[in-house]
Structure 1
Amino acid sequence: MSTPTASTTHLVLIPSYNPGVKVEETVRGARAQWDPVWVVVDGSTDGSAERLQAMAADDPGLHVIVLPTNRGKGSAVLAGMQAAAARGFTHVLTMDSDGQHPAGLIPRFMAASQADPEAMVLGVPKFDASAPQLRVQGRRLSNFFADFETLWAGIGDSLYGFRVYPIAPLVSIMERQSWMRRFDFDPEAAVRLCWAGVRPIQIEAPVRYFGAHEGGVSHFNYARDNLLLSWMHLRLVAGFGVRLPYLVAKKVLR
């Protein structure tokens, strides 16, 4: 297998918290497609940090950042982006560490970003029979609100975390406010980037849910995380009201 040519602008960024046995397979799959790959270990207590550091010791294309305590997905991505920007990178492709996202599509997403670097490239999930129907149906409400909050700017799916972000505008947004640090990161990032004028590009991508017998791990809590999403959309709707004249004018001019 040929080794990917190292990019100086785009990297794969994998936030990881107690990911289970799939994490090494996920990282190897990403490394087969791209160089470099960074993993941000978000205070994991399952021994995965040590295993990933051992992998990185033998692979110059793999970099592992270990956060001492669990801060949430958004915080892990922010820490990774700040470190990446300090090294001159301009874009990150985020993907989950549990094997749900399609590593084989990394080159396609990166190529779309490189062709239009001012845009964000958002995955639109294609679910198979492994997807829990309650979550598949439930995400439609979040998607509706994200569309409403951006006047249907083209987000597609607000919750799918397989996407390419331009670092500078997203870091700027996150450093100005204290939200977007946990499970609410993905939808709020897409909405606020749209507000900032970052155009979304949609690409379909499959998603696979693994059962516990397959090594799958889920940290999703229906009550806690749906409350978190509800509070997030309340904030965004309030912000939408303030920005409505600007969003309407931009849509008309377009």
Structure 2
Amino acid sequence: MIAASTTHLVLIPSYNPGAKVYETVRAARQYWSPVWVVVDGSNDGSAEGLQAMAAEDDGLRVMILPRNQGKGAAVLHGLEQAAAAGFSHVLTMDSDGQHPAERIPAFMAASMRQPAAMILGMPVFDASAPGLRVQGRRVSNLWANLETLWSGIGDSLFGFRVYPVEPLRQVMRHQPWMRHFDFDPEAVVRLCWRGVRPVNLPAPVRYYRAEEGGVSHFRYLRDNALLAWMHTRLFLGFVLRLPVLLMRRALGRI
């Protein structure tokens, strides 16, 4: 039996993930308590299955949003509930089985050692990773590092990471755009602007084929258009903040 943390929880946003979500949640519960799942308007039956699991597991909580609002919106809902319950940090991970539950304890331990930092997963890809996805993320990473004057963001897109709750809540409350797929890179850039230091830890990632139960909601044109618009907004914000960022760089605070 894992003792429940009073400061750190695992937060899993979930939208139509298929049966992989049950494996994901069981694996997360094997390594941590509590685990919260925010069901983002799923209509694939997974909400009911997760509720049944939670009814038999005090370490699991399931929250259901009535309609699909986007990954960022689901995370924000979880953040608000976590803050109300007194938690200081959340580890976010995807519900489709791609993220490594066995790395949860190491990431949480790193966060407890450096509570003011955000602990970012550095994906370690295997042969299952689509080449186009691996190559394409380099563009987003380049922009994210430019927009933060190379403050140390190892990977801007990988959603397996630990956030301090309050800084992220404050950022998201003032940024209504941060509600969809592009939430992850915008979160790390804006947190860097607020002085939240990134700490990078390796984490293996697994892409499942459809015949293995893998479900992907990634749409190449739509999601890359979202990323392009997001980085346009961030670059404009970067230009406005450049004098402050340069001063912080000169003082060794970046």
- For the superposition of Structure 1 and Structure 2, which TM-score range results when normalised by the shorter chain? over 0.9
Alignment of 1:105 with 2:65, yes or no, is no
Q: What is the rounded CA distance, in whole Å, between the counterparts of 2:106 and 2:10 in structure 1? A: 13
Describe how 1:105-124 pairs up with structure 2 within 5 A.
105-124=103-122
Once the two structures are TM-superposed, the CA of residue 112 in structure 1 deviates from its matched residue by 0.3
Q: Secondary structure at the match of 1:15?
A: strand
Once the two structures are TM-superposed, the CA of residue 252 in structure 1 deviates from its matched residue by 1.2
- Picking from 185, 197, 204, the partner of 1:199 is 197
Tell me the alpha carbon deviations over residues 191-235 of structure 1, each in whole angstroms, 9 at most, x when there is no partner: 000000000000010000000010000000001000000000000
- Picking from 218, 221, 224, the partner of 1:223 is 221
Tell me the alpha carbon deviations over residues 105-148 of structure 1, each in whole angstroms, 9 at most, x when there is no partner: 00000000001100000000000000000010000000000000
Once the two structures are TM-superposed, the CA of residue 83 in structure 1 deviates from its matched residue by 0.4
- Picking from 5, 8, 12, the partner of 1:7 is 5
- Picking from 2, 18, 24, the partner of 1:26 is 24
Describe how 1:119-130 pairs up with structure 2 within 5 A.
119-130=117-128
Tell me which residue corresponds to 1:67: 65
Q: Give the TM-score normalised by the residue count of structure 1.
A: 0.99
Q: CA RMSD in A?
A: 0.4
Q: Secondary structure at the match of 2:4?
A: coil
Tell me which residue corresponds to 1:81: 79
Once the two structures are TM-superposed, the CA of residue 30 in structure 1 deviates from its matched residue by 0.1
Tell me which residue corresponds to 1:138: 136
Q: Secondary structure at the match of 1:147?
A: helix
Once the two structures are TM-superposed, the CA of residue 5 in structure 1 deviates from its matched residue by 1.1
Tell me which residue corresponds to 2:178: 180
Tell me the alpha carbon deviations over residues 150-185 of structure 1, each in whole angstroms, 9 at most, x when there is no partner: 000011100000000000000001001211100110
Deviates more, 1:203-212 or 1:176-185: 176-185
Describe how 1:146-185 pairs up with structure 2 within 5 A.
146-185=144-183
Q: What is the rounded CA distance, in whole Å, between the counterparts of 2:175 and 2:185 in structure 1? A: 15
Q: What is the rounded CA distance, in whole Å, between the counterparts of 2:19 and 2:38 in structure 1? A: 16
Q: Secondary structure at the match of 2:5?
A: coil
Tell me which residue corresponds to 1:213: 211
Q: What is the rounded CA distance, in whole Å, between the counterparts of 2:19 and 2:212 in structure 1? A: 9
Once the two structures are TM-superposed, the CA of residue 242 in structure 1 deviates from its matched residue by 0.5
Task: List runs of 5+ in structure 2 lacking aligned partners.
Answer: none
* 4+ residue segments displaced more than 4 Å: none
Q: How many residues align?
A: 252
Q: What is the rounded CA distance, in whole Å, between the counterparts of 1:163 and 1:210 in structure 2? A: 20
Q: What is the rounded CA distance, in whole Å, between the counterparts of 1:166 and 1:88 in structure 2? A: 12
Q: What is the rounded CA distance, in whole Å, between the counterparts of 1:58 and 1:4 in structure 2? A: 15
Task: Read off the aligned partner of 2:151 and give its amino acid letter.
Answer: A
Q: Give the TM-score normalised by the residue count of structure 2.
A: 0.99
Task: List runs of 5+ in structure 1 lacking aligned partners.
Answer: none
Q: Secondary structure at the match of 1:54?
A: helix
Once the two structures are TM-superposed, the CA of residue 61 in structure 1 deviates from its matched residue by 0.3
Q: What is the rounded CA distance, in whole Å, between the counterparts of 1:229 and 1:145 in structure 2? A: 10
